[in-house]
């Protein structure tokens, strides 16, 4: 089986503050860069424990996309670092192979959620993003991309708020909530316990792939609520988009790739 992993950092065990996510502040960042790598390695190990012949592609999907230490991962894992510049973004590479499952590590709650002190969706320029009336997380966006290519989403690790959402949306998914946001604080399990739980969860998750198809709507409407009315005005000139009010830009399509194209030019950094 070909398996795809998308790895973020704001849902990594114990993380709490922005400097812990940024290469420019190495004293804060390096411990969580290492934990991010440990969690991805554990996910790979769990996959291989369930299928020794699995071929794994890992997308480093945070910020510079140069966070993971490839040498710390199993040899059967390939790592896609940096940004190609295509609309798949955090799922880049998924369209290049016949994948039997997609897994997500280190993911976080959606913009405006209290479930993570670092909650956001794609960047900090928006207050929130609605997709068909639901506040959209990066997980939701990227899971729909997996669904677009017919790839089951079998596993998620991150904060409890996101894991609770995922379990309701994709009932067969295996989740490992490693953190719980409480205002500006983070309550987390021990990092070693998180690594063990992710390893066991990933092993279990592959067995449930047939139960983890992403529910794909027939029609998509996205509303981006920008913090700055000037940014909203500028982005409203994307073809087919409209300015709903001073801060809301709306776009709709029955094709998810067109939604990704809109996101690529209007939301993504």
Secondary structure class of 5 (helix, strand, coil): strand
Task: Give the chain's mean pLDDT.
Answer: 97
Are 129 and 146 in contact by the 8 Å Cβ rule? The answer is no
d(CA 168, CA 166): 5
* CA 145 to centroid of chain Cα atoms: 11
pLDDT above 70 as % of the chain = 100
Q: What percent of the chain has pLDDT over 90?
A: 98
What's residue 97's pLDDT? 79
Q: pLDDT tens digits, residue range 90-144?
A: 999 999 879 999 999 999 999 999 999 999 999 999 999 999 999 999 999 999 9
Task: Summarize the confidence of residues 234-249 as an average pLDDT.
Answer: 97
pLDDT at 165: 98
Cα angle 126, 129, 134; round to 5: 155
Instruction: Confirm if 207 and 114 have CB atoms less than 8 A apart.
Output: no
The pLDDT, as a whole number, for residue 96 is 82
- N-to-C CA span, the chain: 33
For residue 242, pLDDT over 90 is answered with: yes
- Distances from the Cα of 188 to the Cαs of 178, 185, 193, in angstroms? 6, 10, 10
pLDDT score for 268: 85
pTM over 0.95: yes
Q: How far apart are CA 261 and CA 267, in angstroms?
A: 10
- Structure-block tokens of residue 4: 């795809």
């Amino acid at each position: 089986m070909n398996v795809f992993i998308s790895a973020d950092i704001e849902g990594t065990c114990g993380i709490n503050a922005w400097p812990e996510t940024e290469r420019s502040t190495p004293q804060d960042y390096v411990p969580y860069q290492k934990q991010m790598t440990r969690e991805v390695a554990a996910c790979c190990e769990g996959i291989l424990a369930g299928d020794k012949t699995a071929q794994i592609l890992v997308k480093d999907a945070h910020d510079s996309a140069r966070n993971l230490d490839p040498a710390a991962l199993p040899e059967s894992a390939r790592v896609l670092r940096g940004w190609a510049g295509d609309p798949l973004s955090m799922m880049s590479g998924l369209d290049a192979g016949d994948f039997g499952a997609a897994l997500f590590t280190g993911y976080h709650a959606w913009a405006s959620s209290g479930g993570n002190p670092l909650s956001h969706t794609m960047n900090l320029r928006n207050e929130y993003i609605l997709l068909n009336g639901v506040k959209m997380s990066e997980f939701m966006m990227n899971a729909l991309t997996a669904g677009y290519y017919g790839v089951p989403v079998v596993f998620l690790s991150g904060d409890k708020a996101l894991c609770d959402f995922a379990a309701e949306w994709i009932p067969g998914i295996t989740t490992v909530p490693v953190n719980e946001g409480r205002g500006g604080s983070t309550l987390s399990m021990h990092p070693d316990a998180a690594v063990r739980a992710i390893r066991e969860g990933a092993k279990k998750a592959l067995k449930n792939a047939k139960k983890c198809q992403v529910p794909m709507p027939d029609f998509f409407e996205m509303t981006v609520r920008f913090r700055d009315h000037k940014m909203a005005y500028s982005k409203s000139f994307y073809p087919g988009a409209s300015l709903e009010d001073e801060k809301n830009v709306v776009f709709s399509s029955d094709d998810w790739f067109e939604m990704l194209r809109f996101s690529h030019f209007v939301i993504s950094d």
